[in-house]
Amino acid sequence: MNKVEGFVKSTGRDKHWDVLEKEMKTLLDTATGKIRSEYLIETCCPVCLSESYKLSFEKDGFCFVKCEGCGLLYVNPQLNEEKIISNYEDSPSSDSWVNVLLSREEQEFNIKNKLGPVLTDINTLYPERGNILDIGCSIGLFLKLAKEAGWKEYGLEIHKKAVDYAVNDLRLNVESKLLHETDYPEKFFRVISMWGVLEHLTDPRIILKQSYELLADDGVLIIFVPNGHSLVTRVLREHCSTFNGKNHLWYFGPYTLKKLLVELGYHVTKVYTIISQTDEIRNYLDYSSPYEYSQNDMEKVMFGELQAKALEDYILSNHMGSKLIVYARKKQ
């Protein structure tokens, strides 16, 4: 078993994917193989507002298109907002994803690669700490770390199982609300974070505008999203697990996310990517499933240790890692 397959199994991602696949099938019109029309709504690009696009590929009945204005990859048509919210509040796939997040291996991975480095950054920026809001905080792992570091934590999450764990097990200040349902004062937060949230929202512009009003003048907005510009998504295309039309609506890259933030009044101060996924690329190029074990002489020749390290360095230095992290402030 290689490290990709080992991580998938130890975190329960394989079980989650099975549950998700079953849910996907309930959305399909068996006659056409596409998503039932009553669940769908046409949309436009949230970055440049263009309605012109070209089809890139289809997967699980969803169409993945590329904006002809700015190049953003997105799902069109998409599930309507009612269907999306009901899925996040309570569904088998949402429950199984929470189980993934609760696994020891997933938490260790997230702290090492995502949450820990960002927490170090904000602790350095704000030695005296302040109020922090995590939108879509899930089980509250980032808020737990922030609270332990001296921050006053606020969290929003609509999935019932995740809220219950954050409130009752971790004793965090988390509410089961959407952002527009809150009454936080303007400029109340020094840090607002969104970990894997923006790609799920039917209108990402709205939450970015709301966050701008809540952010202190010296505050920072931190966004973590799947990177639509990553090498793994471009090589694997529809075979990449990132492409999930039911949950992931927008596939921002460094250029498109920065363009959107600047248009809404933010100043982008830091952009980087993490997680090269060279193993998945290697498996796929070896005519295997990206997420299952495979090894032969071709793999050894093409992707020895030195070659894999060189490829990883190239990916991350060119903002082509599979996850994108962006810091933004208010323009002064």
Q: Tell me the pLDDT of the chain (332 aa) as tens digits.
A: 556 677 888 898 889 888 888 888 888 988 888 899 999 999 999 999 999 999 999 999 999 999 999 999 999 999 998 888 877 877 888 888 888 888 989 999 899 999 999 999 999 999 999 999 999 999 999 999 999 999 999 999 999 999 999 999 999 999 999 999 999 999 999 999 999 999 999 999 999 999 999 999 999 999 999 999 999 999 999 999 899 999 999 999 999 999 999 999 999 999 999 998 888 887 788 777 777 654 444 444 455 666 778 888 999 999 999 999 999 999 87
Cα dihedral 83, 22, 280, 137, rounded to 10, equals 40
CB–CB of 295/9 below 8 Å? Answer: no
Residue 61 within any structural domain of the chain: no
Domain of 245, CATH number, reads 3.40.50.150
Residue 8 within any structural domain of the chain: no
Cα dihedral 312, 106, 99, 5, rounded to 10, equals 50
Residue 87 within any structural domain of the chain: no
Residue 222 within any structural domain of the chain: yes
Tell me how many degrees the CA angle 325-326-328 measures, rounded to the nearest 5: 155
Q: What is the reported pTM?
A: 0.91
Parent domain of 302: 100-330
Residue 44 within any structural domain of the chain: no
Residue 116 within any structural domain of the chain: yes
Please name the residues in contact with 238: beta carbons below 8 A apart, sequence gap of 6 or more: 57, 58, 59, 64
Token readout for 70 is 């700015």
Residue 73 within any structural domain of the chain: no
Residue 68 within any structural domain of the chain: no
Query: In whole angstroms, what is the distance from residue 10 CA to residue 22 CA?
Result: 21
Q: What is the domain count for the chain?
A: 1
